[in-house]
Structure 1
Amino acid sequence: MQPWLLVSPASKGIGFCMARHLLKTTNAPVVVTARNDLDGTKRKIMDGLSEVDDKRLKALHLDFLDEKSIMEASKECKSTFPIEDNLLHLAYVIPGILFPEKSPEKVDYEKALLTFQTNTLGPLMFTKHFFQFLPQKSIKMDASSEAWKGLDSKLARWIFMSARVGSVTDNKKGGWYSYRSSKSAINQITKSFDLHVKTKSGDNAMAIAMHPGTVKTGLSKEFWDSVPKDRLLEPEDSAERLIGLCTKSDGVGLDGRGRIWDWQGKEIEP
């Protein structure tokens, strides 16, 4: 079985850096998604990676607010990577949007709805159409081919993007009602989906959620000044850590399935 890797979306921020890091450190095909300008997205990702075969990178249109586009992207992946010969080894499902409401009266219905559609329902619909690519539990994982280079662990991992503020246990300040709630919901989806993956894939695959840290991207730009410099991560650093925890044999293993982990490999209580 040949592995392929997926980062969705990957036009900017952490996803963009993840795609570049996977291309540089592995030999497997990498599928990325974007809502528009696929050629431009692919050019930006490949910029400076002259040693990488650009045929390894496939860019697909996908809008997390449009289930039809998710379904069409999954059909294209099925055509490119027939299930009988290929398996989805890494899937980073990481859309995100943030409207920080400091008090209840600041909650805007349309913005809150968009938050849940992007952060929660979009990943859930993505899971509906893409989970078919994870390995069956009957498969014997042979990682001897060149395509597995850089993937030390044979365990397939499905990763949702969560956030520390989605933890009810960790909530000490309140606020951010729609964003916190959308990420709490992702944590629940992660647990439920992992139970399904365990039935389908056995010990060949698992689902987890991850917190990338406070990263210097457009999503968190409003809060950069309030974060200590040693706790504000560059996107490249966060991406490298999140990938390392999922590609290395000493990363998050089967005993961590269905749970939430931060970029340091520390568990976050739900």
Structure 2
Amino acid sequence: MPPWSLISPASRGIGFALAKRVLQETNAPVVVTARKDLDKTKEELLDGTNIDESRLRVLKLDVLDESTIADAAAECKKHFDPKNHTLQLAFMVPGILFPEKAPAQIDAEKALLTFRTNTIGPMLMIKHFSPFLPKKNASRNNGDEMKGLPSIATAAVMSARVGSISDNSLGGWYSYRASKAGVNQLVKTFDNHLKTSSGDNAMAVALHPGTVKTDLSKDFWGNVKKEKLFERDWVAERLIDVVTEVGVEGRGKCWDWDGKEVPP
């Protein structure tokens, strides 16, 4: 069963870097998503590479609109029917941040948008894309098509260290922290499902990328030590290494860019 990969969204930030890295380091088809400017996203991902553009498919998807998630999944089924193909690597990385330093700064609408984007968005993606992961009785992929891909089909959802309840010693960022704690619970729950449906053929993990030079974190770069402020391309490389190396023993947990577990 030939493998394929999914990165959503991939128009900018870490998602873009992950998509470019997966395209460069693997041989299998890659599906990425964007809310708009699909042709521009494809052009920018292929720019400066010698990648066969037939390997890359860009689909419209907005995690705030479940119909677009369903449509993207339906389009994938046309090309990668789960009976004949395996979603071997999926990165679900939507993210938004409104920092609240004190309770008085909490805004209900912004908090709701944070949860809809960071937590419910990946939840709905799992709903529509989990059927593409291999079942328990599926044969393992091997051969050249598996180059650079994890041996166990993996769904990776972007979390954050601030989503750790036991590691929270500073407070603040109420909505963002809570949404990422929700991601960790989502991943654990989904992985329990995969243990039943897929056995050791598929698993789910959460990821902490560190502080990366993206639009999401730009307002806080000045508060981060230079050696702890990462370039997105370097982080993408590290996260892919972590996903391919963590193994079945690391399923259902949150892992940082350095391959260390983030406590719940």
CA apart distance, 1:154:
1.8
- Cα distance in structure 2, aligned partners of 1:91 and 1:149: 15
- Cα distance in structure 1, aligned partners of 2:30 and 2:139: 22
Paired residue type of 1:213: G
2:246 corresponds to 1:246: no
TM-score (norm 2): 0.99
CA apart distance, 1:56:
0.5
Which of these residues, 228, 252, 266, is aligned with residue 260 of structure 2? 266
Please give the residue correspondences for 1:15-164 in structure 2 after superposition, counting only pairs within 5 Å. 15-49=15-49, 51-144=50-143, 146-151=144-149, 153-164=150-161
Closer, same or farther: CA 125–142 of 1 in aligned 2, 3 Å: closer
- Cα distance in structure 2, aligned partners of 1:149 and 1:162: 26
CA contact (8 A) 2:28 2:55 kept: yes
CA apart distance, 1:85:
1.1
- Alignment coverage as a number of residue pairs: 264
Which of these residues, 190, 193, 196, is aligned with residue 193 of structure 1? 190
Deviations 1:1-26 (A, max 9, x none): 10000100000000001111111111
CA apart distance, 1:149:
2.2
Paired residue type of 1:267: E
Q: Which runs of 5+ in 2 are unaligned?
A: none
Aligned to 1:165: 162
Q: CA RMSD, aligned part only? A: 0.8
CA contact (8 A) 2:3 2:141 kept: no
Q: Which runs of 5+ in 1 are unaligned?
A: none
- Match of 2:28, SS? coil
Q: Displaced runs of 4+ in structure 1, greater than 3 A?
A: none
Aligned to 2:202: 205
Give aligned-pair identity as a percent.
Answer: 57
- Cα distance in structure 1, aligned partners of 2:141 and 2:256: 29
- Match of 1:158, SS? strand
CA apart distance, 1:229:
0.4
Deviations 1:52-100 (A, max 9, x none): 1011010000000000100000000011101111000001011000000
TM-score (norm 1): 0.96
- Cα distance in structure 2, aligned partners of 1:142 and 1:106: 50
CA apart distance, 1:150:
2.5
Aligned to 1:215: 212
2:224 corresponds to 1:227: yes
Aligned to 2:249: 255
- Cα distance in structure 1, aligned partners of 2:147 and 2:186: 31
- Match of 1:219, SS? coil
Paired residue type of 1:41: T
CA apart distance, 1:246:
1.8
- Cα distance in structure 2, aligned partners of 1:68 and 1:7: 18
